[in-house]
Each structure stands twice: as structure tokens, then as C-alpha cells.
Structure 1
Amino acid sequence: MKHILRTVGVTLALSLAAGPVLAQDPTFFRIGTGSAGGTYFPIGGTIANGISAPPGARPCDKGGQCGVPGLIAIAQSTTASVFNNTAVQNGELEAGMAAADVTRSMYLGEGKFDGKPHEKLRIVANLYPEDLHLVLPAGQSVDSLADLKGKRVGIAQAGSGTQVAVEMMLGEWGVNRDNMDEAELNNSQSAERLADGQLDAYFYAAGWPVSAMVQLATTKGMELHSFTEDDLKKINDLIPAYIPSSIPAGVYEGVDYEVKTPAVSALLVVSSDLSEELVYGITKALWNDNTRKLLDNGHAKGKQITPDTALDGVAALGVPLHAGAEKFYKEAGLLK
């Protein structure tokens, strides 16, 4: 577990002590995100800033940080969902951002994770929808996923929820590693390869707008595949966590049409080993007015992260809320 590429927020090289937070004794809280060119990374950094309140910081009511007293949260760039959930399960991260479908499969030990349940995974909040982007060179199109057979296709990096879901989807259209030239790359790498003509298409699930795609669209240009309603239903039947969604026209330069595509919820996940007191404080800080301002003024998806949608779809996943988060939502009247 050494995919720590960048750090957002307060960076102090000290050992982490997980447990009750004391104002005089700092507690370090590592949040696994995703690649720098995606959406997990900036959103994770905003959350880290919102829940932090380092020892000696100016009090919230005097214009200081309004997080958990003594907490120093650090957002780390990783390969995303699978890596983050594994690291949370193993105690190598305190929290992680992860796709709902992957989190369910890993918690229950189903599908690709058959017989390997990650029983320590606990949910703090549903955050925002991640839309699947199937990116193509400018002027190119496909009728369906079957057209990717024999093509050079970016299937996202190993350890990502995108790759797990994409391989399942492609399989339904008869496409697999035996009949395509797959590339395991992160979003930024995939965009660069597509721009250079080394890829015919690539997949990435993230909240729009995705920075690497914004750059690709404004330089080389790109197209996004819009799925048919029948294809969206087929995908939803295959992976219930992926629901029909859309990317509005104009989100990316040159993509002046609505893109119908499946989307999956992004979750904030922690370990059951964390104390109820700590996670209660983190959940409370996540939904305070100060963090609200940070979310509203950061990445565009931040505005969609609200307490009113924090529990959307969570009960149906079969992955428990952390006791500390549950306590907060009951006190806030959001959970009976």
C-alpha cells in the first residue's frame, strides 16, 4: 500500500493516532481519494480541510477552522475505490472515497471479491453521483460497447471501481481482455494517450466536470458516448448501483449535446475500528456551515454534497452506517 502520490490540506510527517480527539494531542486522519485528474482528489481535499482543526488553531467562533478539535485530516491520492476500501479494511487509511457498487461487493465478499468480505467497512455519507464517461477522439463515435472489440481501450487503473464495473459492462456486449487491447491507466494518462492517438476510447467514472477531460476537450477535442435507454436498462439490470443519468450539454467544450450515461454514487467510507466519538465529530463537521462554504466554492460537484442526500440509497446497499455517523443523523432528524 504505497500509492500515496500527493497530499492536500495540512501535511505533517508524524505518526497517526486513531482514537478520541484531544485538543492538545493531534489526531491524524488519512482519506484515500483518487488520481489528481479526477474528482475524488479535489473533493477529498475539501472534506479534509472542512473536518480539520489542528491543535492551536483559532476557534471556529473567532473565524478559525470549524472541524474536529485536534484533528488533522490528510487527503491522499490513490488508485481509488478498491484500493481505498482495502486500505480502510486493513487499517492503512482511516477513510476513503469509493463507489457504491464496489463498496457493497467488497463488504459482502461478492462478485470479484467472492469469499473475501471486507467486514470493517462503514459508511459516513453518500456524496454525489459519478457519471461514467466513455471518451472518444473528436469526430468519432460507436453504436454500442460491442464496437470496442478489437480497439485500444482504457479501462481505468487497477484498483479502481471504474475498472471493475467497466469489465462487467463490456462483458455483456462480448468484449473482454482477449478481444480488445486494454490499457490500465488513470484518467490523466488515458486523456494523454487518447490525445496522442494511442487509444481509441477510454472509460472513467467521476463527477463532472473532470479536469483532465476539460483540458482534452479544449486542446485536441473529444466526444462522449451517449447510451441508449435500452443499454442503460441493461447496465442497471447488470449492476443495480449504476442508474441512468446524464451529463448536460456544454459541460465540456465541443460536447454540445446531452450525454445519457450510467452513474454510481460516491461514498465516504471509514473503518468500524474508529471510535463512535471520532466519527460523530467528523460527520458533524462535514455538515457544518463552514464545510458547506468550502464545498460550494470548490469543485462543481461540491454543491451536490448535502445532508439531505447523505443517506440516499445507503439502506439498500446493505453496508452499515458507522455508529458515530448514525448518532449524528438521528440527532439531526435525518434518520429515525
Structure 2
Amino acid sequence: MINSLKTAALGAALAFGLVGTASAQELNFFTIGTGGTAYTYYPVGGVIANAISKPPGSRECGEGGSCGVDGLIASAVSSRGSVDNVNAIISGLRSSGFAQSDVAYWAYTGTGTMEGSEPATDLRTIAALFEEHIHLVALKDSGINSVADLSGKRVSLDEPGSGTYVDANLILEANGLSVDDVTAEALKGGAAAEALRNGKIDAFFVVAGYPAGALVELASAAEIKLVPITGAGADALTAKYGFFASSDIPAGTYEGVDATTTVAVGAQWFTSASQDEELIYNITKALWNDESRKLLDVGHAKGKTITAESALNGVGVPLHAGAERFYREAGLLD
């Protein structure tokens, strides 16, 4: 897998006319595990990969060229999501990846939903990125108005290995339900949206930064609603797990959908403690330079909320030494 990624990246370098310069400067390939292509992790990962890359032969920063890390070719890799990314980082399959703050903390400590698993003590944080909202999606005329109404319904919880699957189970539990009380499906992105539209499921969960692409498309083609995640169940969830907070998805985020109160978690960027300190320092520095700011602002609707000032918000897994050095030098960490 890693060799094939290197081959693909090298092919891209050759395609950009970097044949003569590649041999003069060592190439460094860096993967970012994201999520399904229909949600938020994947496009944001692509923007960040672009921001931190600087293949040999690139024009200099400030002269119309890349302000990334010299010789670095980063790539966003589609994956099953948070749990899959954490496992891939620890196994060495991927250089880094995005994960929900709750999933990462439980993996690092071997607690919560990861109770009984070997703690992922080599997991390290590069940055907190943006807030992710838990979307519970149903058709407008479905009669599903609360989590309790899911009992006996056909509900997609997303794939095992995704953060959505973890959180969907926690939400059911907080509302007195379990996976046995629904007919559970494991659909992602466009497949879940299509199944809802065609009446094959009654509802599905998505944990994503809004607006999620698959839901934008669904709302333009069908009358949908976002089911509120509020009341005693939401209160129990936020009280038990500090990672969750009550938050609103504004009206108009999705066509015809009213403002909806739900719960949210943080999306964060992780790597392994074994990654080179100087490399992660330079990646973190590249992420937060002014040129990257321009890319983030126009690259995705969530990009404007990805800021250096919030890069340490809700971090529960230790910073990588390289990232920590950058934040100290930038005055963001005492």
C-alpha cells in the first residue's frame, strides 16, 4: 500500500516535469487518512495536503509558489474514518490522519469505547481543526422527531471503523436504546443518502463538519429534516463525556432544513510519535503560514474555522514534539 502511494506520488511529480529536480532533492511522501469522499474530512484533507506540499522544482514561497515543506508530497487518502485512521497511524500504514477528539482520546488511553484494547500510546496531535456536528437525517414526512422515534426503524449507523458508528451507538444508549432496537445498516455517504431517498432506510447518522457534501446533494433532491439530538439523552451524553457539546446547525445549511440543535465533537489531526520531529515541526509551520490561510479560506466551507488560535482547543492526546515546538515558538503554548 505504502509503495503504491509512493509510486503514484512520484508519477505525479514526473507529470509536473520534476524529473530533473527529483534526484537533486530527496522526496518525502506523507499521507493523511481522511474519511468517505462524500463528507468533510476528505476535501479538507486535500486542501491541507496541498498547503503542506512543496515538490522539487516548485517556485519559492512568496513568488507564486508553494509555501509547504521542501521536498514533501502529501496526499489525502479516503478511509473508513476516525477509528480506521487511528489504527492505520499506529500500525504505520499512514503517516497521519483525522479523527474525532473522543475516538482519539479513548484509543490513546484504552478507555471508553476502546476499553480492553491496547492503549495507542504512540498517538500524537498535530492540531485541532474544526467542530463536527452529529447529523441525524430523515425524510421530512417520516414522523421521526427524536432519537426515541428510531425504535423499530431501519437506521444506518455508518461502517464499523468510523467515528460516526461509535457516536451513533453512544447516542442510542444515552436515549435508552441499543443497536438491537433498530434494524442497523452500515452505509456511508452517498449510499446512505440514496437509501433514504429510495425508502430502503428510515434515517441515518453522519458526524461531519457542516455542510456535508452528500447532504447538500440529498437536500436538493428530496425533502429532508435533521432530527434534534436534545433533551435528557443529550444532557446525559454531554455530562458523561466532556468531548460532546450542544451546538446548532444553522437554518439554510441544507436546502429547506430548519435550524437544528444537536451535539458536536472536535475534528483533530494526528500522527505517530515515531514521525521525525523536524518534519512535523515544518508541517505544522506550513499549515499555519499566511499562504495556507488563503487556501483554507477558499478550499472548503469549513476552512475559515480552521485557525491557529483554535489549534489547541480540546486537545486530549499529547502534542507531537515537533508540533509542540512550533506552538511554543508561535506563543500559542506556555
Using the TM superposition, give the Cα deviation of residue 232 of structure 1 relative to its aligned residue in structure 2, in angstroms. Answer: 2.7
CA distance in 2, matches of 1:23, 1:60: 19
User: Gaps spanning 5+ residues in structure 2: where?
Assistant: 13-22
CA distance in 1, matches of 2:92, 2:263: 32
Deviation by residue 1:55-102 (Cα, 9 ceiling, x = unmatched): 121111321111000000010000110000000011110000000000
Using the TM superposition, give the Cα deviation of residue 221 of structure 1 relative to its aligned residue in structure 2, in angstroms. Answer: 2.0
1:200 aligns with 2:198: no
CA distance in 1, matches of 2:145, 2:329: 50
CA distance in 2, matches of 1:328, 1:29: 19
Contact 1:23 1:70 in 2 (8 A): no
CA distance in 2, matches of 1:64, 1:96: 26
How many corresponding residue pairs? Answer: 320
Query: In structure 2, what is the equivalent of residue 158 of structure 1?
Result: 160
Q: Identify, as 1 or 2, the structure richer in helix.
A: 2
Query: In structure 2, what is the equivalent of residue 128 of structure 1?
Result: 130
Q: Which amino acid aligns with 2:235?
A: K
Deviation by residue 1:219-240 (Cα, 9 ceiling, x = unmatched): 0121101233444322212332
SS at match of 1:147: helix
CA distance in 2, matches of 1:144, 1:71: 47
CA distance in 1, matches of 2:72, 2:229: 44
SS at match of 1:234: helix
CA distance in 1, matches of 2:255, 2:148: 27
Query: In structure 2, what is the equivalent of residue 48 of structure 1?
Result: 49
Contact 2:127 2:270 in 1 (8 A): yes
Using the TM superposition, give the Cα deviation of residue 178 of structure 1 relative to its aligned residue in structure 2, in angstroms. Answer: 2.0
TM-score, length-scaled by structure 2:
0.92
Using the TM superposition, give the Cα deviation of residue 279 of structure 1 relative to its aligned residue in structure 2, in angstroms. Answer: 0.3
CA distance in 2, matches of 1:65, 1:151: 50
CA distance in 2, matches of 1:179, 1:227: 18
Q: Which amino acid aligns with 1:55?
A: P
Query: In structure 1, what is the equivalent of residue 192 of structure 2?
Result: 190
User: Gaps spanning 5+ residues in structure 1: where?
Assistant: 15-21
Structure 1 segments, 4+ long, off by >6 Å, are none
Deviation by residue 1:164-203 (Cα, 9 ceiling, x = unmatched): 1111220232322322110111122111110111010000
- 2:254 pairs with one of 252, 255, 258: 252
Q: CA RMSD in A?
A: 1.9
The more displaced of 134-143 and 23-32 is 134-143
Query: In structure 2, what is the equivalent of residue 282 of structure 1?
Result: 283
Query: In structure 2, what is the equivalent of residue 86 of structure 1?
Result: 87
Query: In structure 2, what is the equivalent of residue 17 of structure 1?
Result: none
Query: In structure 2, what is the equivalent of residue 331 of structure 1?
Result: 329
Contact 2:124 2:319 in 1 (8 A): yes
Contact 1:81 1:102 in 2 (8 A): yes
Q: For residues 203-222 of structure 1, what are the structure 2 equivalents within 5 Å? A: 203-222=205-224
CA distance in 2, matches of 1:13, 1:108: 39
CA distance in 2, matches of 1:189, 1:32: 21
Q: Which amino acid aligns with 1:95?
A: S
CA distance in 2, matches of 1:30, 1:260: 35
Indicate the percent of aligned positions where both proteins have the same amino acid: 47
CA distance in 2, matches of 1:143, 1:56: 56
Using the TM superposition, give the Cα deviation of residue 143 of structure 1 relative to its aligned residue in structure 2, in angstroms. Answer: 4.0
Q: Which amino acid aligns with 1:189?
A: A
CA distance in 1, matches of 2:275, 2:90: 11
Change (3 A) 1:162 1:274: same
CA distance in 2, matches of 1:12, 1:185: 34
SS at match of 2:121: coil
Query: In structure 1, what is the equivalent of residue 171 of structure 2?
Result: 169
SS at match of 2:62: helix
Change (3 A) 1:23 1:126: farther
